[in-house]
Amino acid sequence: MKREYLIILALLAVLVAWPLLMGNYAVSQANRAMIYALAALSFSLLAGRLGWFSLCQTTFAGISGYTVAILGVRFGLPFPLVVTLALLLTTLSAVIFGLLTVRSRKVGFLMLTLALGQMVWALSFQWVDVTGGYNGIAGVRMPVYGGIDFNATRVFYVLVTTVTVAIFLAVWRLYRSPFGLLLLGIQENEQRMRALGHPVALARFSAFVLAGAIAGVAGVFLVYDMGIMSPSPLGLGHAVWVLTAAVLGGYRSLLGPALGVAVLITLETLVAQYTDRHMMVIGLVLLLSILLMPRGLADVLEQRFKRKSKPQASATTTTQGEEP
Amino acid sequence: MHTFYFLTLNGLTMAALLFIMASGLTLAFGLMRVVNLAHGAFYLLGGYVGVQVIRDTGSLTLGLLAGGAIALLVGLLMERFLLQRVRGLDLSEALLTIAVGLIIADALLVVYGGQPVSLPLPRELRAPVDLGVMMYPYFRVLIMVFAVLLGIALWLVMTYTRLGAAIRAGVDDRETAMSQGINVPLLFGGVFAVASFLAGVAGVVGTSYMSLTQGLDVRVLMLSLVVIIIGGMGSLKGAAVGALITGMVSSFATGYLPQFALFFLFLPMTLILVFRPQGLFGRAA
């Protein structure tokens, strides 16, 4: 309990110190990491609580990004309205996708979200009149309010960090709430939860829509960070990237997905000096994660810590709840 | 009217290809509950190797066999050394196949480069033949014939042979089948090998219709998934009907509404999901 607060305080300290100590490049990398951490959180919310592995969370981010680009650049609507509409439309898409997928399980869900996600990718690619096709829509910029330019890397950092931390804290509360526990219960034993009178289908559906909305927030930041919206963030490559980060970090824990994103971005930066076989690296990381540490880095670290403090506890925690 | 016939024939060709792609995938899924998401990468692998063998030897048959064989080999290795380690954990198996697919596709990009590759066909196979309503390339007619023959062969094996009965028993009730002395793990390996082989062959055949290029693996995977979701996962009949629907919709949408062609491809799937989530011929989970 106490340790948890300590970790959070230490992380907050790092997040505050980062823009003060680091150069522009490191800060912009942190922005990107924060955005992908949100996407990975959205993935992990479904994977860790419900055993639902989704390949369309980046699609929701993409829908949100395209809405921002189209309404902001093409129609020149004001920033608050653009963001509100983007999040509304993303949530609506999540409602529709949720209705289509809520009855599927495990591999069926994975395949469905893959197919649905690729459908939106196809639309973004081929519906040139609206999306600009392959070239996308350029010139997406944050507004300037009261002399503060939100496009400046460090100002953007403050905004992204604040929102990301707030969302992680909210999800932290959610995981401990009765709703969060119900989701875990459904993953563990659906029949029992139903027999106890819990609205199983509604809980699943709500979690899906919530995860979609979180991905929508990531999408808003992503498009402002890139300044351009094109079909590539909706492709399977991005979806698998986020999945890999979440599996690597540990999708069952709150901070696992963020840890996975941080490690994966660092790894990619290091590897980029030697090879440009970007997707092969992702594939290898995913492969090794599943084979060697299916519960992710967060769990490995936690076990190590526990073994030091109370050696007898570690044996019991590793046996429970292997992949459902 | 000419356009209509042309689009219909294109749709049938596409359907034939889709059936060759998806039949193996759906059989493996039905038997093992493993969805091989490296299927598209196997297709690409079979295609590249097949085309190279055809270029080197000039023999289409050798090319088809080589494309099938390389995919079969990689499929068997993946099944033995990776999937068996996480057997029973459906999702881990699926994620492993995604990882393998990424690695294969990226390796192919290194070896064969990003330039589109098409199938070097002898003149007599490329030449159009008269089908009564219009002239149509001979090779495409052959693809349709091949798909129909493949469908009949798979159906005969599944319905009338001991092997087929054993596979069906393994699909229906794994434990009981094993207690009756059926070696289900061996059967699984065999079906997976056949599925991989078909993916590789589809890669060679399909290259006459769509050039091999970067990103095609994902498109092929997506198309195969759409077909088996429509038809019902695990059903051979479903794969045939799903392929027909998808092929036709794809061809006519490309002809009349090119901007939404890919989108329309998913429309039948979405409708099926709303009204019959288990697919046309699938059984409710």
DSSP B171-210: HH-HHHHHHTT--HHHHHHHHHHHHHHHHHHHHHHHTTTS
- Stated as kind and residue range, the H or E segment containing A194 is helix A190-195
- pLDDT of the residue at B53: 94
Per-residue pLDDT of B127-174, as tens digits, reads 888 887 788 888 889 999 999 999 999 999 988 998 888 888 877 777
How far is the alpha carbon of B85 from chain A, nearest alpha carbon, in Å? 8
- pLDDT of the residue at B134: 83
Whether residue A223 contacts residue A132, with contact meaning beta carbons closer than 8 Å, is answered with no
Assigned domain for B178 exists:
yes
Whether residue A180 contacts residue A187, with contact meaning beta carbons closer than 8 Å, is answered with no
Beta pairing class for A228-229 and A137-138: antiparallel
Partners of residue B95 in chain A, C-beta under 8 Å: 53, 243, 247, 286, 290
How many angstroms separate the CA atoms of A250 and A243, rounded? 10
Rounded to an integer, the average pLDDT of A57-75 is 94
B258/A126 touch (CB, cutoff 8 Å), yes or no: yes
Q: What sign results for the dihedral spanned by CA atoms B41, B149, B27, B178?
A: negative
Rounded to an integer, the average pLDDT of A295-324 is 62
Assigned domain for B283 exists:
no
CA distances from B175 to B9, B87, B108, B166, B170 (A): 45, 15, 40, 12, 8
How far is the alpha carbon of A202 from chain B, nearest alpha carbon, in Å? 17
- pLDDT of the residue at A308: 67
A118/B269 touch (CB, cutoff 8 Å), yes or no: no
A166 three-state secondary structure: helix
- pLDDT of the residue at A313: 44
Kindly identify which residue of chain B lies nearest to residue A243, measuring between CA atoms: B95
Determine the length of chain B. 285
How many angstroms from the chain centroid is the CA of residue B268?
19
8-state DSSP, A56: -
8-state DSSP, B84: G
Assigned domain for B270 exists:
yes
Identify the contact set of chain B against chain A, taking CB-CB distances under 8 A: 33-35, 37, 82, 85-86, 89-92, 94-96, 98-103, 105-107, 110, 218, 221-222, 225-226, 229, 233, 258-263, 265-266, 269-270, 273-274, 277, 285
Assigned domain for B281 exists:
no
Partners of residue B263 in chain A, C-beta under 8 Å: 119, 122-123, 126-127
A279/B94 touch (CB, cutoff 8 Å), yes or no: no
Assigned domain for B284 exists:
no
Kindly identify which residue of chain A lies nearest to residue B37, measuring between CA atoms: A111
Identify the weakest region by mean pLDDT among A44-58, A70-84, B252-266: B252-266
Per-residue pLDDT of B24-34, as tens digits, reads 888 888 777 77
- CB of A128 within 8 Å of a chain B CB? The answer is yes
Assigned domain for A78 exists:
yes
B135 three-state secondary structure: strand
Burial of B160 (0-12, 13-18, 19+ CB in 10 A): exposed
To 5 degrees, how large is the angle CA A90–CA A95–CA A96?
A: 100
Residue A316 — very low, low, confident or very high, per pLDDT cuts 50/70/90?
Answer: very low
Rounded to an integer, the average pLDDT of A133-137 is 85
Q: What angle separates helix A256-271 from helix A278-292, to the nearest 10 degrees? A: 140
- pLDDT of the residue at B174: 76
Residue A273 — very low, low, confident or very high, per pLDDT cuts 50/70/90?
Answer: confident
B95/A128 touch (CB, cutoff 8 Å), yes or no: no
Determine the length of chain A. 324
Beta pairing class for B135-137 and B128-130: antiparallel
How far is the alpha carbon of A295 from chain B, nearest alpha carbon, in Å? 11
CA distances from B36 to A292, B123, B225 (A): 21, 36, 10
The closest alpha carbon to B203, from B223, B233, B230, B189, belongs to B223
A149 three-state secondary structure: strand
Phi-psi domain of A23 (left: phi exceeds 0; alpha: psi -120 through 50; beta: other): beta
Minimum-distance CB partner of A107 among B90, B222, B266: B90
Phi-psi domain of B206 (left: phi exceeds 0; alpha: psi -120 through 50; beta: other): alpha
CA distances from B2 to A53, A282, B6, B135, B136 (A): 46, 48, 6, 10, 12
Containing domain of residue B120, as a range?
Answer: 2-275
Q: Which two tokens stand for residue A146?
A: 């009261």
Assigned domain for A173 exists:
yes
Q: Please count the structural domains in chain A.
A: 1
B-facing residues of A in 250-269 (CB < 8 A) are none
Type of residue found at B112: Y
A100/B258 touch (CB, cutoff 8 Å), yes or no: no
Type of residue found at A161: T
Assigned domain for A245 exists:
no
Kindly identify which residue of chain A lies nearest to residue B103, measuring between CA atoms: A280
Rounded to an integer, the average pLDDT of A2-29 is 86
B265/A122 touch (CB, cutoff 8 Å), yes or no: yes
Identify the weakest region by mean pLDDT among A63-67, A130-134, A169-173: A130-134
Rounded to an integer, the average pLDDT of A260-272 is 92
A53/B91 touch (CB, cutoff 8 Å), yes or no: yes
Assigned domain for B89 exists:
yes
Q: Please count the structural domains in chain B.
A: 1
Q: What are phi and psi of A201, to 5 degrees?
A: -60, -40
pLDDT at A320 over 60: no
Q: What sign results for the dihedral spanned by CA atoms B164, B188, B77, B49?
A: positive
Q: What sign results for the dihedral spanned by CA atoms A227, A230, A232, A236?
A: positive
Rounded to an integer, the average pLDDT of A205-224 is 95
How far is the alpha carbon of A311 from chain B, nearest alpha carbon, in Å? 28
Assigned domain for A16 exists:
yes
- Stated as kind and residue range, the H or E segment containing A167 is helix A153-176
Containing domain of residue A69, as a range?
Answer: 2-234
- Mark the ranges of chain B whose per-residue pLDDT is less than 50: none
Partners of residue A126 in chain B, C-beta under 8 Å: 258-263
Average pLDDT over all residues of chain A? 88
Partners of residue A286 in chain B, C-beta under 8 Å: 95-96, 98-99, 102
How many angstroms separate the CA atoms of B41 and B97, rounded? 10
Rounded to an integer, the average pLDDT of A9-34 is 89
- CB of A53 within 8 Å of a chain B CB? The answer is yes
Considering only residues A305 and B83, tell me which one the structure prediction assigns the higher pLDDT.
B83
* Placement of tokens 């090319």 in the chain: B63
Assigned domain for A141 exists:
yes
The pTM (predicted TM-score) of the whole model is 0.88
How many angstroms separate the CA atoms of B147 and B227, rounded? 15
